[in-house]
Amino acid sequence: MKDTPLSNCERQFLLKAVEEKKRVDGRQTYDYRNIKITFGTEYGCCIVDLGKTRILAQVSCELVPPKDSRPTEGILFFNLELSPMASPAFELGRQSELLVKLNRQLERCLRNSKCIDTESLCVISGEKVWQIRVDVHVLNHDGNLMDAASIAAIAALSHFRRPEVAIQGRDITVFTPEERDPIPLSIYHMPICVSFAFFQQGTYLLVDPCEREERVMDGLLVIAMNKHREICSIQSSGGIMLLKEQVLRCSKIASVKVSEITELINKALDNDKRARKEGGKFGFAESMPKERITALKKDEAPVEMTDVQDTANEIISRTEAQPDIVKVPSPVVPAPGTGQVGEGLLNTWGLEEEEDEEEEQHEKEEMSTGEVMVLSDSEEDDVVILNPDANKPKRLEGGSKKGVEAPKKQKTSH
Amino acid sequence: MAGVELLSDQGYRLDGRKASELRKVQARMGVFAQADGSAYIEQGNTKALAVVYGPHEVRGSRSRTMHDRAVINCQYSMATFSTAERKRRPHGDRKSSEMSLHLKQTFEAAVLTQLYPRSQIDIYVKILQSDGGNYSACVNAATLALVDAGIPMRDYVCACTAGFVEDTPLADLCHAEESGGGTTLALALLPRSRHIALVQMDARLHQDHLDMLMEAAAEACRGLSKVLDGVVRQHLQEVSVLTRD
Amino acid sequence: MASVQVSEAEKVYIMHGVRDDLRVDGRGCEDYRHMVIETDVVSNTDGSAKVSLGHSDILVGVKAEIGKPRALVPDEGYLEFFVDCSANATPEFEGRGGEELGIDLSNTLYKVFNNKHSIDLRSLCICPGEHCWVLYVDVLLLQCDGNLFDAISIAIKAALFNTRIPKVHISEDAEGGKEIELSDDPYDCVRLNVENVPCIVTLCKVGQRHVVDATLQEKACSVASLLLAVTHKGMVTCVRKMGGGSLDPESISEMTETGKRVGKALHAPLMDLLKKEEGLGKNRQKVGFLR
């Protein structure tokens, strides 16, 4: 399915807002959206919510023979998939430019920066090594997939535990989690991508663009850093022209953001570890907001009831009599099988003479106090009666007059 | 991969260059007669060939036609015998697709596409021998090919790689230096306006060194632009001599 | 192949010319265009060659790798061909557009070289049944101007002549496994004997006569062509008819005779040239594309 195109007015609106340093969702230029990190029941499963963007990352491991060129190192494999549930523009099986870009950026950010010690993944040199596979699925696309994907991937890798192995000569025994506790991966540092969107040939920049802002941007600059202020990767995309000073400024902003996000990830990891240790419930089910009543608990609070009756009467007498605001017309049954309540609102499609007449009425009413005169017999709506009767028209007139009266009253009360 | 010393104590690199020296650049325009524009460049041992077709009508899907500018279509491929280990597929894998996207983005910024609405410009680049700096050789060859084809651009697009070893930035890396595990920064620059069309960096680098590294790469690009300019002027001279009555 | 549109008047003109043994560019029916051959253009490979025939440009690289021999012939090595029709030649070859032509060309090359007379495959064997040399011959099509097969075969012959395979020393390991050592000396290598490598001659039937080395325009006028692989002794190793038209048996025998004559005459100057080029040694200035 093709993506719905962005209208010109929307585009101009967004660009104008950016020029005035305002964002559509109320953020400041350097603000991130709310980041929520949750872990699943299994080790290595993580969902990251960046505003409305939602990404799931899952880490798994397997024993495989190593690559010929690197016999003592483990293998890291990354795979990012754009699920069609994320956006109507994503189709299953089609390799689009966005997919290639995201995959390559994720690979460069995590593999080339050597954040994971691959030598420790070697079991028997030249024969068996661990292959760590990170699958990232995009569940909802609301802009800035790159940042969320990198956070999800690195959080999942930090959360993951691989089974322990024992080597005796050439035999390998893999212990299940019940026999021996699985061990975490050795991660040197946590590289996190920060995206900067550029507008108007590089004059304005925004951090963490949402989907609408991404559509009108000129280009994107992605900087991956870790909290030790080391840059792991820089990539500019889109046909923008940058100046060296802009790139340096972005790197400074990125270092601030990255330290915040790294703290958030560490906190989430700690919480999850604590929850597992204490035996409490953990996992996705716990993190979803509870909208079902699974238990009903009644709280009883003592209330003094001695002179409730007197207090109540007193309150009632003190309140003023409510004026009759709107008399809801009683239902009328013109014929068996049909019912009618009221006449509806005043028809404003009337001809000019009628409008003038009404204006006159209005003025006259204002002059006379309280006296309600019925001047016009204008029939607003055509009411079709199935069984016309002699009595009916009178009643209708009355009804219609009532209908006319009611809105007029409303007019005067205004 | 430790063990290989990328920078010796006297300041010489693996192939005997100094830290900020570029490799020998030889280039030639108008290599192929059938294409609209073509160029061949040799940067040290890296050899790249670029061919430009266009501007012509948009081939294939008409929906890609843009009403106010030209579509730029790039393909990057490597010859199967270009690398030390034989490559199975010349193009179609992820790295080649990413490179093609980067080239497209670089030239979309530089070519005056507003002058050719509803048309398409094809840029095909082939690496014949790969010895580091693939992307930069492609960009330089494509710039010359575009000039040969007569397509107007804002400025020369020059690209160069730079690395960082022992607090010294190195310009124009060869393959051994690139895979040595140090930092690699690829920069595509428009020299006169100092605008960066593409910046790409892998591997860890401390934030404080970024400025020095980018400056070294920019300096190398400016040096390259002088060489490219010389090549274009010489080609022009030859052609004008040949076509003189 | 990149095709050209030829009008009816042009076709008639070409056919009349061929009938009188005078082609559009002044050649005779059995003359080749100007050919430029250069070897050792790509240094990453074990052997390479670049051939320009008119406007057609072909680049061939040969890489030798150690592999397992085929089960049916355990004491022979083998060749693997791969033809890459790059987008440089024409925009239609972009992406997967050139795959069809590439597969067609490589299948034909397999047929031509698939006999024990062309190359001595036994010399490629290291350890019968275990290790042998596999030669990956990669052909890169840079410009298409008709007559691809001839140019490709000449380029392959030159590249194979230029190939230097490092010498192998087999030593016994402690546990009985064989260890293969490649000699580090770049001059200590094995050369292939390319005397018997055939050259392909394509003959196109234009009108009543046939022409050798047809250009794209002449190709557009012919309906059928015959492909002959001829060795330096005049032996024909492979015959293939291409094109949608039909050939009657007399023309086939005529064309075969012509092909044999032309092919035989091609080998001697080619080998002379290659030997002369090698004789220039290291001081030869490598031109490549930097004309």
Q: Is residue B161 part of a domain?
A: yes
Strand locations in chain C (E): 35-39, 47-53, 56-67, 78-85, 125-127, 131-143, 164-166, 168-172, 178-182, 189-191, 199-206, 209-212, 224-230, 236-242
Out of 2.40.30.20, 3.40.1030.10, 3.40.50.300, 3.30.230.70, select the CATH number for domain C18-279.
3.30.230.70
The 10 Å CB-count burial string (b at 16+, else e) for C143-181 is bbbbbbbbbbbbbbbbbbbbbbbbeeeeeeeeeeeeeee
- Residue B136 is predicted with a pLDDT of 92
What CATH number corresponds to the domain at position A121? 3.30.230.70
Q: Is residue A374 part of a domain?
A: no
Contacts of C176 (CB under 8 A, 6+ apart): none
Domain that holds residue B50: 25-242
A78 strand-pairing partners: A134
What CATH number corresponds to the domain at position B216? 3.30.230.70
Amino acid (one-letter) located at C176: G
Amino acid (one-letter) located at C192: L
Mean pLDDT of A14-41: 88
Query: How many structural domains does chain B have?
Result: 1
Q: Is residue A372 part of a domain?
A: no
Q: Give residue-wise pLDDT tens across range A229-268.
A: 889 899 988 878 888 888 899 999 999 999 999 999 998 8
DSSP of A107-119: HIIIIITT-B-SG
Q: What is the ipTM of this complex?
A: 0.84
A193 strand-pairing partners: A224
Q: Chain B contact for A234, CB < 8 A?
A: yes
Pairing of strands A75-82, A128-140: parallel
How confident is residue A369, by pLDDT bands cut at 50, 70 and 90? Answer: very low
- Residue A328 is predicted with a pLDDT of 65
CA atoms of A161 and A182, how far apart (whole Å): 5
Q: Is residue A359 part of a domain?
A: no
Question: How far B197 CA lies from chain A's nearest CA (Å)?
Answer: 5
CA atoms of B28 and B39, how far apart (whole Å): 6
- Residue C153 is predicted with a pLDDT of 92
CA atoms of A267 and C130, how far apart (whole Å): 57
Mean pLDDT computed over every residue of chain C = 85
Q: Chain B contact for C84, CB < 8 A?
A: yes
CB contact under 8 A, C88 and B32: yes
Find the distance separating the first CA and the last CA of chain C, reported in whole Å: 26
- Which residue is it, tokens 């690195």? A154
Roughly what angle, to the nearest 10 degrees, separates helices A391-413 and A352-367?
A: 60
Residue of C nearest to B50 (CA): C88
Contact C20, C28 (CB under 8 A): no
B51 contacts in C (CB within 8 Å)? 87-88
Ranges B198-202, B213-217, C270-274, C278-282: which has the least confidence: C278-282
Provide the 10 A C-beta neighbour count for residue B118.
15
Q: Give residue-wise pLDDT tens across range A45-83.
A: 999 999 889 999 999 998 888 888 888 888 899 999 998
Which residue of B198, B209, B211 to mutate against A (max A Cβ within 10 Å)? B198
Q: Is the pLDDT of residue A407 over 50?
A: no
CA atoms of B140 and B197, how far apart (whole Å): 13
CA atoms of C210 and C21, how far apart (whole Å): 10
* Tens digit of pLDDT at every position of chain B (245 positions): 344 667 777 778 888 888 888 999 999 998 888 889 999 999 988 999 999 998 998 887 778 888 888 999 999 998 888 887 777 777 778 888 888 999 998 898 899 999 999 999 999 999 999 988 899 999 999 999 999 999 999 999 999 999 888 788 888 888 888 887 778 899 999 999 888 989 988 878 888 888 889 999 999 999 999 999 999 999 999 889 988 75
Q: Is residue B18 part of a domain?
A: no
Q: Is residue B187 part of a domain?
A: yes
Q: Is the pLDDT of residue A383 over 60?
A: no
Q: Is C80 helix (H, G, I), strand (E, B) or coil?
A: strand
CA nearest neighbour of A75 among A106, A123, A121, A109: A121
Q: Is C1 helix (H, G, I), strand (E, B) or coil?
A: coil
Phi, psi at residue C100, to the nearest 5°? -60, -50
C56 strand-pairing partners: C53
Evaluate if pTM is beyond 0.95: no
CB contact under 8 A, A103 and B218: no
Q: Is the pLDDT of residue A156 over 90?
A: yes
Neighbours of C, requiring at least 3 CB pairs below 8 Å, are B
CB contact under 8 A, B108 and A243: no
CB contact under 8 A, B207 and A241: no
Q: Give residue-wise pLDDT tens across range A293-304.
A: 555 556 666 777
CA atoms of A178 and A237, how far apart (whole Å): 47
CB contact under 8 A, B80 and C82: yes
Q: Taking the domains of chain C in order of start, what are their residue ranges?
A: 18-279
CA atoms of A274 and C201, how far apart (whole Å): 79
CA atoms of A199 and A279, how far apart (whole Å): 50
Q: Would you say the C-alpha torsion A213, A106, B137, B100 has a positive or negative sign?
A: negative
Q: Which of residues 138-177 of C touch B (CB under 8 A)?
A: 138, 140, 142-145
Question: How far B34 CA lies from chain A's nearest CA (Å)?
Answer: 30
Query: How many structural domains does chain A have?
Result: 1
Question: Residues in chain B whose beta carbon is closer than 8 A to a beta carbon of chain C?
Answer: 26, 28, 31-35, 38, 40, 42, 45, 47, 49, 51, 53, 59, 73, 75, 77, 79-84, 86, 90-92, 122, 124, 126, 128-131
CA atoms of B173 and B203, how far apart (whole Å): 14
Which residue of C40, C43, C44 to mutate against B (max B Cβ within 10 Å)? C44
Q: Is the pLDDT of residue A214 over 80?
A: yes
CB contact under 8 A, B34 and C82: no
Q: Is the pLDDT of residue C264 over 60?
A: yes
Contact C38, C288 (CB under 8 A): yes
- Residue B148 is predicted with a pLDDT of 93
B201 contacts in A (CB within 8 Å)? 231, 233-235
For chain A, how big is the Rg over CA atoms in Å?
Answer: 35
Q: Is residue B210 part of a domain?
A: yes
Q: Is residue A347 part of a domain?
A: no
Provide the 10 A C-beta neighbour count for residue C23.
20
Pairing of strands C78-85, C131-143: parallel
Mean pLDDT computed over every residue of chain A = 78
Q: Pick the residue with more confidence: A25 or B49?
A: B49
